[in-house]
Amino acid sequence: MDVISVIRTKRDRGRLTDEQIDWVIDAYTRGEVADEQMSALAMAILLNGMDRAEIARWTAAMIASGERMEFSSLPRPTADKHSTGGVGDKITLPLAPLVAACGAAVPQLSGRGLGHTGGTLDKLESIPGWRALLSNDEMMGVLRDVGAVICAAGDGLAPADKKLYALRDVTGTVEAIPLIASSIMSKKIAEGTGSLVLDVKVGSGAFMKTVADARELATTMVGLGTDHGVRTVALLTDMSTPLGLTAGNALEVRESVEVLAGGGPADVVELTLALAREMLDAAGLPDADPAKALRDGTAMDHWRRMISAQGGDPDAPLPVARERHVVTAPATGVLTGLDAYAVGVAAWRLGAGRSRKEDPVQAGAGVELHAKPGDQVTAGRPLLTLHTDTPERFDYALQALDGAVTVAPAGTPFTPRPIVLERIG
């Protein structure tokens, strides 16, 4: 087999055969196919697409590039959740201990933020002592003792995706539905979860800007999961405005703890409960009551045990940024828009995110919202607070927020977008 004929097939809008797909993924993982050749193929896939059978084979080949985990020795059914990424999306933090408190085991392999979207591991690392890197044995131990673990995927899981994702990130080939679907699902299937709920974000702060694109991605991923024996459902959820009132690592941990204590912003609570119900249903526990587990403190108890089991101190004060800057409302009236992408870029520029994988992040940096779309605001009163250790970044962050806020005259009717837009599966 030679790589140039594989590239030419896709360049000329042909179908890749099973043999071509198996060979190219294996040869790329071993270093026999070079990065420049794989990036040409990724671009041909982005431009010309893949059919369902090609995507299924591509996903299977990426799973076969590494190890598969297995949880059948656990006494509880496994359930996992994956979000395609958004701004202020801290849902995994309250969700994993909540679902564990309701009787499922949650093996949550998570990632770091890149660009304007935050990463679960970066958020949790703002808790003093907490460790994202666990051996497979440690991971199983936390899962068995607590019922939930949130950690980094080991190097052995879908190594073809690790290489290919890093390559796509620097070659403008991330936004291809076949490549996103196979990337996410190869990791989730190799992880070995019995059931999976996908939170596919739609809107300015998400990869998928339209419901039609999000629906296609969700349908593709649900099909891949189902074909591999993983009970999979997807919710399309709104990402036109940030989730909750915070975007930034320690700020989001604080808000997640508020949710676990029975408070927190209404949209975060609503989405946490909606995803928890889907996960428990998919895991065969439809009678569990996640709202009760939030109210009666059992979810909080699981959070504290999960954080402690990974070396963190759940009682330690969270880091706070050294400097703050308040942005005031530009007019009096109804806040009708607060753009998710703009807030995400501002948080990133303040130091909450990274531009390159090896960059450090600031634990305390980010954006705090004092109002949500639909709220009344008053000209000159605080609307956002920007947090950073590096105040020279304030101007750069403020540029990102240019045009992000819309205020309509008081009394203008406003219908908020529902959080859950559609269910697929």
- Return the residues of window 42-101 that contact ligand URA according to CB under 6 A: 84
The sign of the CA dihedral 340, 345, 349, 352 is: positive
305: tokens are: 């045990």
Please name which of 339, 337, 321, 347 lies closest in space to residue 116, comparing C-alpha atoms: 347
The residue (of 167 and 174) whose beta carbon lies closer to ligand URA is 174
Shortest distance, CB of residue 187 to ligand URA, whole angstroms?
Answer: 6
Concerning whether 161 is annotated as a catalytic residue, the answer is yes
Shortest distance, CB of residue 214 to ligand URA, whole angstroms?
Answer: 13
Chain residue whose CB lies nearest ligand URA: 183
Q: Is 180 in the site for ligand URA (CB under 6 A)?
A: yes
The residue (of 40 and 179) whose beta carbon lies closer to ligand URA is 179
Whole-number Å distance between alpha carbons of 70 and 40: 35
Q: Which of 127, 184, 200, 233 binds ligand URA (CB under 6 A)?
A: 184
Stretch near ligand URA under the rule CB under 6 A, chosen from 177-185, 212-220, 245-253, 395-403: 177-185
Whole-number Å distance between alpha carbons of 171 and 158: 20
CA–CA distances in Å: residue 108 to residues 83, 93, 127, 153, 187: 11, 10, 18, 9, 11
Please name which of 364, 349, 356, 333 lies closest in space to residue 402, comparing C-alpha atoms: 349
Whole-number Å distance between alpha carbons of 347 and 242: 11
The residue (of 202 and 386) whose beta carbon lies closer to ligand URA is 202
Q: Which of 81, 112, 162, 187 is catalytic?
A: 187
Q: Is 108 in the site for ligand URA (CB under 6 A)?
A: no
The residue (of 179 and 190) whose beta carbon lies closer to ligand URA is 179
CA angle 278, 280, 284 (to 5 degrees): 115
Environment class of residue 372 by beta-carbon count within 10 Å: exposed (0-12), middle (13-18) or buried (19+)?
middle
Concerning whether 313 is annotated as a catalytic residue, the answer is no
Please name which of 238, 197, 234 lies closest in space to residue 218, comparing C-alpha atoms: 234
Q: Which of 39, 183, 195, 240 is catalytic?
A: 183
The residue (of 100 and 208) whose beta carbon lies closer to ligand URA is 208
β-partners of residue 388 are 323
Concerning whether 187 is annotated as a catalytic residue, the answer is yes
Sheet holding 231-238, edge to edge: 79-83, 195-202, 231-238, 420-424
Q: Is 28 in the site for ligand URA (CB under 6 A)?
A: no
Which residue, chain included where needed, has tokens 């459902």?
233
CB distance 299 to 341 below 8 Å: no
Shortest distance, CB of residue 45 to ligand URA, whole angstroms?
Answer: 12
Stretch near ligand URA under the rule CB under 6 A, chosen from 176-184, 258-266, 308-316, 374-382: 176-184
The residue (of 60 and 285) whose beta carbon lies closer to ligand URA is 60
Shortest distance, CB of residue 183 to ligand URA, whole angstroms?
Answer: 3
Please name which of 211, 152, 221 lies closest in space to residue 186, comparing C-alpha atoms: 221
Stretch near ligand URA under the rule CB under 6 A, chosen from 179-187, 198-206, 292-300, 402-410: 179-187
Q: Which of 29, 65, 126, 183 binds ligand URA (CB under 6 A)?
A: 183
Concerning whether 168 is annotated as a catalytic residue, the answer is yes
Q: Which of 89, 161, 238, 267 is catalytic?
A: 161
CB distance 37 to 161 below 8 Å: no
Q: How many residues bind ligand URA (CB under 6 A)?
A: 7
Concerning whether 395 is annotated as a catalytic residue, the answer is no
What does residue 47 show for φ and ψ, rounded to 5 degrees?
-80, -35
Catalytic site residues?
A: 82, 161, 168, 183, 187
Residues interacting with ligand URA, by CB under 6 A? Answer: 84, 165, 174, 179-180, 183-184
